[in-house]
Chains A and B, each alone.
Chain A
Amino acid sequence: GIQVEQSPPDLILQEGANSTLRCNFSDSVNNLQWFHQNPWGQLINLFYIPSGTKQNGRLSATTVATERYSLLYISSSQTTDSGVYFCAVRSNDYKLSFGAGTTVTVRA
């Protein structure tokens, strides 16, 4: 099956800092989603982005499908941005395959 690798595994930021999270995948994809898992365990949809660039407030994402990677940018980080960020992709079937996640800790 398709392999999804996320980096870095852990990221510690000072409040106000910017950061970039990366997701590499091993095959062409029809769907790519970024999620934020909050402290209660809920998976919050951030972006549906199989290609191109999108922005939502302080978050933005870019997927370069031909090179099989996606980037999630967090700008002016806040403590509420803490949590685990997951990238998930769908290839020729309908299921999502998840990466192992990046754990982000934002310190005040």
Chain B
Amino acid sequence: EPEVTQTPSHQVTQMGQEVILRCVPISNHLYFYWYRQILGQKVEFLVSFYNNEISEKSEIFDDQFSVERPDGSNFTLKIRSTKLEDSAMYFCASTTGVETQYFGPGTRLLVL
């Protein structure tokens, strides 16, 4: 069964450093998402991406964040200058449209 993959599984970084989280969505999917989950809290929407542009973003997704689909398979989330409060599990998801969103296994980011 096709699945969403994410790399790395864990990342530790220093405050102020840039990080890039990578995702490979399911190949025939058209809509791509990033969500995050701070430890012990619920999953929060960050951004959705369709037709090579951002279709919706939350108030969390400020100028420090950007997304890109650099080629036909990868979908990346960049955090320009990490803060302590960016420590969280980041999930990528994809869907064909209105039905099931499939989530990747997540990248656990720790900012020191």
A-to-B contact residues, CB < 8 Å: 30-31, 33, 35, 40-43, 45, 48, 86, 88, 90, 93-101
Given known contacts A93-B56, A94-B31, A96-B101, is B42 in contact with A43 (CB within 8 Å)? Answer: no
Q: Which residues of A contact B48 (CB under 8 A)?
A: 93-95
Q: Give the shortest distance, in Å, between A47 (CB) and chain B (any CB).
A: 9
Q: Give the shortest distance, in Å, between B94 (CB) and chain A (any CB).
A: 11
Q: Which residues of B contact A95 (CB under 8 A)?
A: 33, 45, 48, 56, 58
Q: Give the shortest distance, in Å, between B29 (CB) and chain A (any CB).
A: 12
A98 B56 Cβ-Cβ under 8 A: no
Q: Which residues of A contact B45 (CB under 8 A)?
A: 95-97
A42 touches which one: B31, B44, B105 (CB < 8 A)? Answer: B105
Q: Which residues of A contact B93 (CB under 8 A)?
A: 96
Q: Which residues of B contact A100 (CB under 8 A)?
A: 41-42
B56 A41 Cβ-Cβ under 8 A: no
Q: Is the interface of B mostly helix, strand, loop or mixed?
A: strand
**Complex: A33 Cα to B98 Cα, angstroms:** 12
Q: Give the shortest distance, in Å, between A36 (CB) and chain B (any CB).
A: 11
- Ordered nearest first, which 6 A-B pairs have the shortest CB separation? A48-B100, A98-B43, A95-B45, A43-B103, A98-B42, A100-B42
Kindly supply a per-residue 1/0 record for chain B positions 30-50, scoring 1 wherever the CB is within 8 Å of any chain A CB and 0 otherwise. 010101010001111100101
Given known contacts A88-B43, A98-B43, is B102 in contact with A45 (CB within 8 Å)? Answer: yes
**Complex: A94 Cα to B95 Cα, angstroms:** 10
Q: Which residues of B contact A99 (CB under 8 A)?
A: 42
Kindly supply a per-residue 1/0 record for chain B positions 48-62, scoring 1 wherever the CB is within 8 Å of any chain A CB and 0 otherwise. 101000011010000
With contacts A31-B99, A86-B43, A95-B33 known, what are 18 further pairs, Cβ within 8 A? A33-B100, A40-B105, A41-B37, A41-B89, A41-B105, A41-B108, A42-B103, A43-B43, A48-B100, A93-B48, A94-B33, A94-B48, A95-B56, A96-B43, A96-B93, A97-B45, A99-B42, A100-B41
